[in-house]
Chain A
């Protein structure tokens, strides 16, 4: 499927054809997005929201056009609910500073899940330490699914925020976020969803989910690094304090008083990564043209095929066996450390991630120091899954 759009997939590594299965860490970029970046640099670049000259208008129009593409992609009500950040991590930190520091106080509680990436743990811990806030964690079962009954029990009058991942980066578990958001709202608790692993792989409708915040990154969905999105309901963004101060986020400045700009500009201090934002817009066009439904179906086919094949290897244990999973296959090979697995697969041209995936609590839950993780994108093929399996067999040959 559109494999020819991705020049990097033709690469040879260690004398072997590259098999890129590290898409959950970062996806590859199609020529269409690369071309859009080049076109911007060659014909449209200037600073935005400033000059009255031709190029500044061109750049501003393209940048704001990208914001509108993101709005449509998420089905947000208004484009002013879309804040450009440098990634999911910054988006979450923005909410921690802008919302958490302003509205949460000592004795309050934040609910997180045991599946979170460090990016959705550490900012809240920093806030907890600063304010004297308690963090409570939703536990999971042996398949890596959150325990919904335990989740419901965590709420009380002090609960002030639920910060939850849509899809687990380490295990692939797809959480029933819509139901969990509805439950939190019944308890009057706002919800932030970490969508870094969800937005690239299936349709996200923030109005349907009714989440108060949704964060994701451009580079995991065929876009550039250095750009991400914070969606926030306008009523929340309006009452939040700015995250950083500087140019573009103000209406007027004197040494006595500064008047902040309206949303979303209040949160976009300084010159943003203009090219990256426009590149993200192009990536959204690219994915939308293929269709998120088509992408989801293709990735499910790859995951099912890989799971079936890997299950047949008696020395491999799959970690993360939720009923609803994104195209992530975390596994360990009996008696072989994941880093040795990763090195041997690499010499076969197969690129996977090994380590704790910035989700150490998940590793602790499954009593492993690390796992090997293959993650698929729509441009991967069944033949590549076969190469992965052959490379795993080679590991066993060396260590067995």
Chain B
């Protein structure tokens, strides 16, 4: 039970139920879609970037609680931030989820609630998908898949 609660914390369950920044931004200047073909997770991200800053961001899609909460909290964390800061968070989140980075040595703050996913290899992809998608949107790749070469966990 304790292991389960470590991942399914109130904050994650809450973001799953009431995702923040839900929807699509009309006329967004950046967008990307992320897929996890294995479980059907699907994230659509739209945002407006101006003068190197993420001015607005929204997401929609279908997915498990981990994926949805991760996307929801991610949008909250990067909104209003310079692109370089978002890039750093993408790097750090990937590191935390795959166990290569101690979250205490990061700028992840509230996002540390996802640290428990590193003990569940089959769920790492769920948590990372929105971050992959953010990276793609910021760097003009239209769609990403967690089965891609950049994925730290080999595809099934």
Binding site for B on A (CB under 8 A): 14, 336-340, 343-344, 347, 354-356, 363, 369-370, 398-399
What are 27 A-B pairs with beta-carbon distances under 8 A? Answer: A336-B65, A337-B63, A337-B64, A337-B65, A338-B64, A339-B39, A339-B123, A339-B126, A340-B64, A343-B7, A343-B120, A343-B122, A343-B123, A344-B8, A347-B1, A347-B4, A355-B38, A355-B39, A356-B39, A356-B40, A363-B40, A369-B39, A369-B62, A370-B39, A398-B4, A398-B8, A398-B13
Binding site for A on B (CB under 8 A): 1, 3-4, 7-8, 13, 38-40, 62-67, 120, 122-123, 126
Please give me the residue from chain B that is nearest to A399 by CB atom. Answer: B13
| A336 surroundings in chain B (CB, below 8 A) | 65
| A370 surroundings in chain B (CB, below 8 A) | 39-40
Please give me the residue from chain B that is nearest to A16 by CB atom. Answer: B1
What distance in Å separates the Cβ of B150 from its nearest Cβ neighbour in chain A?
22
What distance in Å separates the Cβ of B151 from its nearest Cβ neighbour in chain A?
17
What distance in Å separates the Cβ of A57 from its nearest Cβ neighbour in chain B?
41
Q: Complex formed: what's the CA distance from A302 to B7 in Å?
A: 32
Cβ 8 A contact of B4, one of A338, A343, A356 = A343
| A355 surroundings in chain B (CB, below 8 A) | 38-39
Q: Decide: A369 and B123 in contact? CB cutoff 8 A.
A: no
| B62 surroundings in chain A (CB, below 8 A) | 369
| B38 surroundings in chain A (CB, below 8 A) | 355
Which among A336, A338, A339, A354 has the highest number of chain B CB atoms within 10 Å? Answer: A339
Q: Complex formed: what's the CA distance from A335 to B13 in Å?
A: 12
Q: Complex formed: what's the CA distance from A382 to B140 in Å?
A: 54
Please give me the residue from chain A that is nearest to B5 by CB atom. Answer: A398
Cβ 8 A contact of B65, one of A340, A354, A369 = A340
Q: Complex formed: what's the CA distance from A197 to B13 in Å?
A: 36
| A356 surroundings in chain B (CB, below 8 A) | 39-40
| B40 surroundings in chain A (CB, below 8 A) | 356, 363, 369-370
| B8 surroundings in chain A (CB, below 8 A) | 340, 344, 398
| A399 surroundings in chain B (CB, below 8 A) | 13, 65
Cβ 8 A contact of B66, one of A340, A347, A398 = A340
| B66 surroundings in chain A (CB, below 8 A) | 339-340
Please give me the residue from chain A that is nearest to B6 by CB atom. Answer: A347
Q: Complex formed: what's the CA distance from A339 to B7 in Å?
A: 13
Q: Decide: A344 and B39 in contact? CB cutoff 8 A.
A: no
| B64 surroundings in chain A (CB, below 8 A) | 337-340
What distance in Å separates the Cβ of A52 from its nearest Cβ neighbour in chain B?
44
Q: Decide: B65 and A14 in contact? CB cutoff 8 A.
A: no
Given A337-B65, A339-B64, A399-B65: A344 touches B4 (CB 8 Å cut-off): yes
